[in-house]
Structure 1
Amino acid sequence: MLKFLCGVLLTLGMVMFMVIAPCAQAASVLFLNPGNTREAFWVSYSQFMQAAARDLGMELRIEYSDRNSEITLAQAREALQGPKRPDYLVFVNEQYIAPEILRLAHGSGVKLFIVNNALTPDQMRLLGARPDKYPDWVGSLVPNDEEGGYLMLKELIRLHPPVAPGQSIDLLAFSGLKITPSAQLRERGMRRALAEHPEVHLRQLVYGGWTRERAYEQAKLLFKRYPQTSLVWSANDEMGFGVMRAFEESGGKPGKDALFGTINNSPAALHALLDNRLSVLLGGHFSLGGWALVQLHDYDEGVDISQYGGRDRQIPLLQLIDRAQARQLLAMGASQDFGVDFHKLSAKGRPTSYRYPFSLQTLMH
């Protein structure tokens, strides 16, 4: 009889497990990556997200759009209106696509999270973007782009040899896409630094579209037009490398005949800093997607993330990277999990005074 009862209980237990198990399914996340698999920044961005998803037990899928907003919107439409909807859609307001994705998401049941480029002030005004109007929009996480652009030029000027009174320093600037908020903000920061240094003369600012080849073609003409250029500001490393190539072809030596500054801690950029070809490098924002997953994991567990620093946050991820940090970042990039325990960053069970410690320092403990 006892044996029979045990068998019945075991069978009941298995049935209950089968009924309960699907409820404990991992949260599914789709990230619409605006870049491509040839861009070191977006690849490292995806890798960091994958490390976070593995650690947090989340299902992550990534789709690239090769900087084509039509592709991104088609991917979003399929995710939000197709048969296989994720629990969460993470995307970038690249080329101002966020309002259209918010519209597509209406009634889909998919929660939205914006990274890197949040809604612009104009978009916020037009949408009347209030949490109650878009209940499926969980939040956003963006870096300090304006400050990044400012810090880069300030450091380039600091490193430049002083000039005699009445003399000027020639600067060339390469921004990303004109219709990308992060490019606009970095450019605004650069102009803020410029206003503090009347001795620096911005000869020309061009839009390299974030790509190496386009910036290379532009730089070939610009170095002929402005042969006295001694400072080069680039909004990302791909463009920075294109400009450096053009400079070398014109007979110049980066780091000696002109100082170059850029953003993104790709392995190539870190090596260029260590080799003194790059004089100024900022990075850290490749981690944004991983930090977003920490917040989505908490949200999925019932945490009110707005109590731990707000639902829409800017975090000071972009910071100057020195050579010791460059070596550390190169070593860390070789580790599959980036050496981060993402669970430890969770706000679950913590007092509301807790703030997510999202920073480059958290990575470089």
Structure 2
Amino acid sequence: MKTCCVSILIAIATILCAPAEALNIVYLSPCKQTTQCTYWTQVQTHMQKAANDLHVNLSILYDQHDDNFREQIAKMRQIEAMSPKPDYVIFTPLPGLISYKTLVKLESLKIPSLMISGEIPPNEVDSYKKPREKFKYWLGHIFGNNVQAGRRLMEALQTQQNESDTYSDTYSDTYVVALAGSKQHSESENRIAGLKQVVAAGNTHLQQIIPTDWTETDGFYKTTKLLTRFPNTNVIWTAGHRIAQGSTSAIETLGRQSNISIGTVNFTPQTFAALQAGELHAVVGGHSVTGALGLVLLFDHANKRDFAEIDNGVQFPLDFGLITRDKLDETLLHFKAWSKLDFSSLSVFLNLQRTKHYFNVFPPKEG
């Protein structure tokens, strides 16, 4: 009799925790399917893993052209033509109020949405308001804390440069050149703000900040010019991994590898390889997992576990992780463990012992 009761209780629990019919979620990719968008490829890889684990149908709408922000709005026509409509739409905020117009259209279609990865430009925040205020179908926003990223990267490069001064009893000053991204991207502006916080603390001389178009070619050209202009440079801070690829090529061409510490943003196969080769000294990143964590939030939301109530918020900035050459193997293995994690284990709906959602760029450690 006791065994029978236990079986009945288990059966009831299984029914209560059984997810609803498979969700249909559309992700608006900001790059072309045929273009090698290293960072966005990682975002989509994590998302697909999470979708598989949660038994969610994930569809991806790609751009047709490179760097055409307005294509996000054009994709709304594809969404509108879908039958049935997707249960949720996930997208990255784009500057110039592009994503504002996307939200307007999603609101008219009554399709809930979630923003991931990027940040809304500071001068546009007042137009958007917060999720669920102006746009009730805009459920939330999960993104990387870019101010913290810029600050943490500079601190790591400063430490790296100090530790290289083994010939001196005192630390030498740090002479920095910074290669930002495009001025229209809030990610770049916020990372620069974090860099300036470290500079303001002293012993760091910021010689020049120069914008780039985020490419390796521009990174190479502008690094060459900066090192010619400031030959005493011993730290190069870069806002993105493709810029860093150009910078490392430039210092190799100039024969300056031995006395310059260089760092960048984004965990990618290329930045990991550059760390292992000694071409980079510090990399901050991990925010490529925001889309996957966002899928968990939406899965639970669809199953009546609203993250706004569970986590007491609708905006979730994630601190970037740091990988340096001295702790490369251990930290790298930890980050790569996302590929082995069952994302369903992060669901509050599927795991009654969970009382909050998981927000971290590194996966939970086993045990």
Deviation at 1:317, TM superposition (A): 3.8
TM-score (normalizing by structure 1): 0.83
**Are 2:54 and 1:52 equivalent residues in the alignment?**
no
Q: Bigger CA drift: 342-351 or 168-177?
A: 342-351
Distance 1:64 1:232, change over 3 A: farther
Deviation at 1:266, TM superposition (A): 1.0
Cα distance in structure 2, aligned partners of 1:45 and 1:106:
25
- Work out which of the residue numbers 57, 61, 64 in structure 2 matches 1:63: 61
TM-score (normalizing by structure 2): 0.83
Distance 1:67 1:328, change over 3 A: farther
- Work out which of the residue numbers 22, 25, 37 in structure 2 matches 1:26: 22
The one-letter code matched in structure 2 to 1:179 is Q
- Work out which of the residue numbers 265, 268, 284 in structure 1 matches 2:267: 265
Structure 2 residues not aligned, in runs of 5+: 1-18
**Are 2:216 and 1:215 equivalent residues in the alignment?**
no
- Work out which of the residue numbers 190, 194, 201 in structure 2 matches 1:189: 194
Checking the alignment, whether the CA contact within 8 Å between 2:281 and 2:324 is kept in structure 1 is no
**Cross-structure match for 1:115:** 116
SS in 1 for 2:58: strand
Distance 1:308 1:68, change over 3 A: same
Q: Bigger CA drift: 61-70 or 232-241?
A: 61-70
Distance 1:188 1:305, change over 3 A: same
SS in 1 for 2:339: coil
Checking the alignment, whether the CA contact within 8 Å between 2:155 and 2:198 is kept in structure 1 is yes
Q: For 1:79-133, what per-residue CA distance to the aligned partner results, in whole angstroms no more than 9, with x for missing partners?
A: 4433343221111113242211111222212211001224345433234446253
Aligned length, in residue pairs: 338
- Work out which of the residue numbers 287, 299, 302 in structure 1 matches 2:301: 299
Q: Bigger CA drift: 267-276 or 146-155?
A: 267-276
**Cross-structure match for 1:72:** 72
**Cross-structure match for 1:318:** 320
Cα distance in structure 1, aligned partners of 2:67 and 2:330:
30
SS in 2 for 1:233: strand
**Cross-structure match for 1:8:** none
Checking the alignment, whether the CA contact within 8 Å between 1:294 and 1:346 is kept in structure 2 is yes
Q: For 1:199-244, what per-residue CA distance to the aligned partner results, in whole angstroms no more than 9, with x for missing partners?
A: 3222221222222122122222222222221100011111111111
Q: Bigger CA drift: 243-252 or 33-42?
A: 33-42
Deviation at 1:313, TM superposition (A): 2.7
Cα distance in structure 2, aligned partners of 1:326 and 1:315:
25
- Work out which of the residue numbers 33, 36, 39 in structure 2 matches 1:38: 36
Q: Bigger CA drift: 157-166 or 97-106?
A: 157-166
Cα distance in structure 2, aligned partners of 1:339 and 1:349:
18
**Cross-structure match for 1:139:** 140
**Cross-structure match for 1:83:** 82
The one-letter code matched in structure 2 to 1:69 is F
Q: For 1:3-25, what per-residue CA distance to the aligned partner results, in whole angstroms no more than 9, with x for missing partners?
A: xxxxxxxxxxxxxxxxxxxx964
**Cross-structure match for 2:183:** 178
**Cross-structure match for 1:274:** 276
Q: Percent identity?
A: 23
Deviation at 1:301, TM superposition (A): 1.1
The one-letter code matched in structure 2 to 1:288 is T
**Cross-structure match for 1:148:** 149
SS in 2 for 1:141: strand
The one-letter code matched in structure 2 to 1:63 is L
Deviation at 1:262, TM superposition (A): 0.9
